[in-house]
């Protein structure tokens, strides 16, 4: 973590001595730490990662029971990077001896990487505003301002949940705000949203003998796609076949929820076809995340789907020097929402910045490419598996 001398240096800028970095990374999650390691490998030294809470904060705030759906395996010895790794040569499976880590375990792993690679991270510092003038970005927190020609926005999605969607949705509890499932009171749960988070909640509640009804406006349980960005993971399908799930969970595909009311002490949930479902337990909302890119949308042109438009280096097409890393990266119809997807763009960003600082990157790019960590040809993506 950042040494106290650095902290002093930063706070001096509040008195007008604005410190200038080559790169400022916002967010110390999987993307911020991963791109930080890539920057260091590319030879960029003068950078800092600013983190609103602590390293891996999103992962530490997952419900206690929630585990990674993507498996970790120490496959690095034959040049296949562990699916949950964010750095060349690193394997969370090897480090932790766990196949499906919990969020807390993964946050510890990220902290270990920060220490191992000696990354400069300023924790407990929320970026409140970024101002762009004459090619320089000023990054402001409550206490100080620092500057750079390059910003990498890696502030993630988890802390920015999707809360609306239907009348009365504010009566629900978003799954991102739960500490665990063990302490949830009630026996009869209504869950709106049936993708990974909704099914995860249903699985843990059903294991405790609770009855669960899940609604989704689409049919995430019947989708036939080999892309885990659209289809459920194998881990989830396996858990759905467990007896407690089959006995306790009822799935309602293609059943949009239109309203929720609290009448006396009963929640009344109405679906588009006019059906009414009642429960005395506060319903759960598993409707996903709007993402933090919405906070910096003024620095980007917008795609038709609302995500930022990026050039081939994941840099804004509107404001040069502003980069995006993490699950909100989109190119054409390619969606980089998992770690094993978005990590392949860290080196593309790091190379672009290193080149602008006149640092030679040929060896760096070659090493990352060999590990499958430098994806510049997107024609390979989006292929479906053959099913037999």
Ligand X SMILES: Cc1cc2nc3c(=O)[nH]c(=O)nc-3n(C[C@H](O)[C@H](O)[C@H](O)COP(=O)(O)OP(=O)(O)OC[C@H]3O[C@@H](n4cnc5c(N)ncnc54)[C@H](O)[C@@H]3O)c2cc1C
Chain residues that interact with ligand X, rule: CB under 6 A: 26-32, 50-53, 57-58, 62, 66, 68-70, 126-127, 154-159, 197, 292, 326-327, 337-339
Residue 10 vs 267, nearer CB to ligand X: 10
Cβ atoms of 193 and 165 within 8 Å: the answer is no
CB of 156 to ligand X, least distance (A): 2
Residue with tokens 């349980």: 221
Nearer residue to ligand X within complex by CB, 51 or 314: 51
Provide the token pair at 235: 């881990």
* Closest separation in Å from C-beta 263 to ligand X: 31
Q: State which residue, 59 or 374, has the beta carbon closest to ligand X.
A: 59
What is the edge-to-edge ordering of all strands in the sheet holding 136-140?
A: 19-21, 145-148, 136-140, 129-133
> 33 or 354: whose CB is closer to ligand X?
33
138 CB-side CA count, 13 A: 12
> Of the two residues 72 and 271, which places its CB atom closer to ligand X in the complex?
72
Phi first, then psi, for residue 58 (nearest 5°) are: -60, -45
Least Å distance, CB 170 to ligand X, is: 20
- Quick one: DSSP state of residue 72? P
Burial 48-74 (b: 16+ CB within 10 A, else e): bbbbbeebbbbbbbbbebbbbbbbbee
Q: Nearer to ligand X by C-beta: 166 or 342?
A: 342
Q: How far is the CB of 174 from ligand X (least distance, A)?
A: 11
Residue 262: its H or E element: strand 257-263
CB of 22 to ligand X, least distance (A): 19
Name the one residue in this structure whose structure tokens are 């790794």.
Answer: 85
- 92: tokens are 């969370």
* Distance of closest approach, residue 122 Cβ to ligand X, in angstroms: 9
List the one residue out of 270, 269, 259, 275 whose CA is nearest residue 188: 269
Query: Minimum CB separation from ligand X for residue 64, in Å?
Result: 12
3-state SS of 310-324?
A: ECCCCEECCCCCEEE
The alpha carbons of the chain give a radius of gyration, in whole angstroms, of 22
Name the residue with the smallest CB distance to ligand X.
Answer: 29
Closest distance between ligand X and the C-beta of residue 101, in Å? 9
Cα-Cα-Cα-Cα torsion 323, 328, 331, 337, nearest 10 degrees, comes to 130
CB nearer ligand X, residue 69 or residue 98: 69
Residue nearer to ligand X on the CB measure, 228 or 271 = 228
């Amino acid at each position: 973590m950042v040494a106290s001398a650095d902290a002093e240096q930063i706070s001096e800028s509040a008195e007008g001595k604005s410190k200038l970095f080559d790169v400022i990374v916002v967010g110390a999650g999987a993307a911020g730490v991963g791109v930080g390691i890539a920057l260091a490998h590319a030879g960029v030294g003068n950078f800092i990662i600013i983190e609103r809470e602590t390293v891996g904060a999103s992962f530490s705030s997952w419900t206690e029971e929630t585990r990674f759906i993507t498996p970790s395996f120490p496959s690095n010895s034959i040049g296949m990077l562990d699916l949950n790794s964010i750095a060349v040569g690193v394997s969370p499976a090897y480090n932790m001896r766990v196949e499906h880590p919990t969020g807390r375990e993964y946050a510890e792993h990220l902290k270990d990487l920060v220490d191992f690679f000696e990354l400069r991270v300023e924790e407990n510092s929320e970026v409140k505003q970024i101002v762009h003038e004459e090619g320089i970005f000023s990054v402001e927190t409550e206490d100080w301002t620092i500057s750079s020609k390059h910003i990498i926005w890696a502030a993630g999605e988890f802390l920015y949940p999707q809360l609306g969607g239907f009348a009365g949705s504010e009566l629900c509890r978003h799954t991102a705000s739960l500490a665990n499932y063990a302490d949830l009171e009630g026996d009869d749960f209504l869950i709106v949203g049936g993708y990974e988070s909704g099914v995860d909640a249903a699985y843990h509640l059903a294991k405790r003998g609770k009855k669960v009804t899940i609604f989704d406006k689409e049919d995430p349980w019947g989708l036939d796609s080999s892309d885990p960005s659209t289809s459920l993971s194998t881990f989830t399908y396996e858990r759905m076949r467990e007896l407690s799930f089959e006995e306790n969970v009822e799935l309602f595909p293609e059943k949009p929820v239109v309203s929720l009311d609290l009448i006396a002490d009963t929640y009344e949930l109405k679906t588009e076809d006019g059906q009414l479902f009642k429960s005395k337990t506060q319903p759960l909302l598993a409707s996903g995340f709007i993402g933090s890119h919405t906070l910096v949308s003024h620095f980007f042109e917008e795609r038709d789907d609302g995500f930022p438009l990026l050039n081939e280096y994941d840099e804004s097409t509107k404001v040069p020097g502003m980069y995006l890393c993490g699950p909100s990266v989109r190119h054409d119809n390619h969606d980089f929402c998992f770690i094993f997807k978005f990590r392949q763009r860290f080196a593309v960003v790091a190379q672009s910045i290193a080149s602008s600082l006149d640092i030679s990157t040929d060896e760096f790019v070659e090493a990352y490419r060999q590990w499958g960590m430098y994806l510049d040809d997107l024609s390979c993506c989006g292929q479906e598996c053959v099913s037999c």
